[in-house]
Amino acid sequence: MSRISRWAAAALLLAAPAFAVERYENNLHANVTYHGGRVTIDHHFGRVEVRTAEGDQVNVRGTVRASDAEIGKQIHFAVSNSDNGVSIRTIYPAIHIHGGEISYSADLEVTIPERAPLFLKNRFGSVEVAGLRASSEVVNGQGSITFKDSRGSQRIENSFGSINVENSDGDTTVQNANGSVNVDKVDGNLTVIDRFGSVSVKHARKDVTIQNANGSVELIETGGAAKVSNSFASVVVRNVGGSLDLTNQNGRVEISEVKGGAIVKNSFGTTSFANIKNDLSIDSKNGRVEGSIVGGSATITGSFETIEVHNIAGPTSITNANGNVTATDIRGNLSVDTRYGLVKAEHIRGNLDVDSANGSVTASDVSGDARVHTSFASVFLKGVTGGLDVEDQNGAISVSGLRGGCNNISLRTTYAPIKLSLPSNAKYNIDARTTYGSVNTDVPITITRKSENILAGTIGGGGCRMELVTSNGGITITRE
């Protein structure tokens, strides 16, 4: 004779072949008066449905099904009642068989007073709860959970099954493993913890915290702050009423419509942003960064991929390694530090400061000063209002469209030419020198010193300092 535990029996229930026909079905019913305390339900091997009603009655209805009548008759529900609460527990027999196949299950429908707190525990079956007006805790395994129309603080936990929460009017905590989480309309603070399943949160009124792994995250509309952590999947966040703190690994990140500041850390995936109302900080490793519209300052750090930003209202700092940088319409100072990548800056309403190595720099329409240090690549500047400080190695320098008639200019390079176009109102004290090249100009200069590779004097009567220095390259000064 062999003995099968209730866990093994559950496995038989789930894996029973199609030809195992249930021979026994029985409906059970119990009704007790609720005197206070908590309603506790301990069930397994079947579905549980909980509804609420006005009044003080707890109504229990169950349906037992079994492939063997003797086994089915031994399955029952134990209901106890006291001032501390109502307890409902499903009782299964110890089963002895001589071989063959068996299956059994018990479905439970419970109606409780709407103000009664609930603790529900189930295994190997789905759970549906609706209409609670008190705090509750629901724990399930190997089955889905549907939780609707509640008030008060709620805690919902599951494993190996989905969780769906709708219309929770209180602080809500959702924890899952190996199953998806979908939450819609939460009026309190919301916390979601999951792994190996997707997470979707929509229409949360207060703060939201999401921690996930190996599953996508979608957060659409929260009235408070949001904190999101994920790995090995994408993250999409839209319409955050407060600040955003987001960390992701090995997945794409997309954020938009954040009214507070945003701090984003991502690796091995593209990060895109749009319409951040306050300050923005992005730390990206081995992933592209792209986006537009930041209401405050922006600090962006990347590596090995392109960074493209547009329409930043405040000071902007960009650090990159081995990737291109493009910054357009920056309404504050712009600082760029990169290696082995191109830098392009346009419409900068402040000072421009670029440190690059082995990458060319192109900038236009700069309202303040421009400082550029690079090596082994060219520098092209057009439309700078303030002073210029360019230091290059083995790369050509070209400057045109200067807006200020008198701002200090220093252009230095080696093994490459320098070309400078000046406006008609230019006023400078010029010092131009090259080692193995010539100095040529069509601008009127009052010369104080001149040779084939040296030119010193004044332009427009003199004024600001102009220093042009190169080796093994020519220097050309022309009119605009």
DSSP secondary structure string, 75-108?
-EEEEEEETTEEEEEEE---EEESSS---EEEEE
At 14 the pLDDT is 32
At 99 the pLDDT is 54
Rounded CA separation 131/52 (Å): 6
**Is 64:73 a contact under the CB 8 Å cutoff?**
no
**Is 40:90 a contact under the CB 8 Å cutoff?**
no
At 15 the pLDDT is 32
Indicate whether 472 belongs to any domain: yes
**Sequence-ordered strand ranges (E) for 162-259:** 163-169, 172-175, 181-186, 190-193, 199-204, 208-211, 217-222, 226-229, 235-240, 244-247, 253-258
Indicate whether 309 belongs to any domain: no
Indicate whether 449 belongs to any domain: yes
At 102 the pLDDT is 83
Which residue range is the domain that position 433 belongs to? 360-480
At 17 the pLDDT is 35
pLDDT digits (tens, 9 = 90+) for 94-145: 875 545 578 899 999 999 999 999 999 999 999 999 999 999 999 999 999 9
pTM for the full predicted model:
0.89
Rounded CA separation 345/356 (Å): 13
- Confidence band (pLDDT; 50, 70, 90) for 228? very high
Flag whether pLDDT at 7 surpasses 60.
Answer: no
Q: Which two tokens stand for residue 113?
A: 């007073």
Please give the tally of structural domains in the chain. Answer: 1
Flag whether pLDDT at 2 surpasses 80.
Answer: no
Average pLDDT over residues 187-208: 98
Flag whether pLDDT at 19 surpasses 70.
Answer: no
Average pLDDT over residues 164-190: 98
Q: Is the dihedral of CA 438, 439, 441, 447 positive or negative?
A: negative
Indicate whether 401 belongs to any domain: yes
Phi and psi based region of residue 383 (left: phi greater than 0; alpha: psi -120 to 50; beta: remaining):
left
At 9 the pLDDT is 36
Indicate whether 120 belongs to any domain: no
The mean pLDDT value of the chain amounts to 93
- Confidence band (pLDDT; 50, 70, 90) for 430? very high
Flag whether pLDDT at 12 surpasses 70.
Answer: no
Flag whether pLDDT at 13 surpasses 80.
Answer: no
pLDDT digits (tens, 9 = 90+) for 267-321: 999 999 999 999 999 999 999 999 999 999 999 999 989 999 999 999 999 999 8
Indicate whether 62 belongs to any domain: no
Rounded CA separation 84/89 (Å): 16
Residue 292 pairs with which residues in a beta bridge?
A: 274, 310
At 100 the pLDDT is 58
pLDDT digits (tens, 9 = 90+) for 132-148: 999 999 999 999 999 99
In terms of Cα–Cα distance, which of 403, 413, 407, 366 is closest to 480?
403
Residues contacting 473, CB < 8 A, separation 6+: 396, 413, 414, 415, 416, 417, 418, 434, 436, 437
What spatial distance separates the first Cα and last Cα of the chain, rounded to whole Å?
A: 104
**Is 299:280 a contact under the CB 8 Å cutoff?**
yes
**Sequence-ordered strand ranges (E) for 83-206:** 85-91, 95-97, 104-113, 118-121, 127-130, 136-139, 145-151, 154-157, 163-169, 172-175, 181-186, 190-193, 199-204
Rounded CA separation 347/363 (Å): 8
Indicate whether 250 belongs to any domain: no
Phi and psi based region of residue 196 (left: phi greater than 0; alpha: psi -120 to 50; beta: remaining):
left
At 97 the pLDDT is 52
Give the length of the chain: 480
**Is 324:339 a contact under the CB 8 Å cutoff?**
no
pLDDT digits (tens, 9 = 90+) for 433-475: 999 999 999 999 999 999 989 999 999 999 999 999 999 999 9
pLDDT digits (tens, 9 = 90+) for 316-373: 999 998 899 999 999 999 999 998 899 999 999 999 999 998 899 999 999 999 999 9
Flag whether pLDDT at 420 surpasses 60.
Answer: yes
Return the SS3 of 73: helix
Please give the residue that has the higher pLDDT: either 1 or 224.
224
Q: Which two tokens stand for residue 239?
A: 């319409």
Indicate whether 383 belongs to any domain: yes
**What are the backbone angles phi and psi of residue 430, rounded to the nearest 5°?**
-100, 140
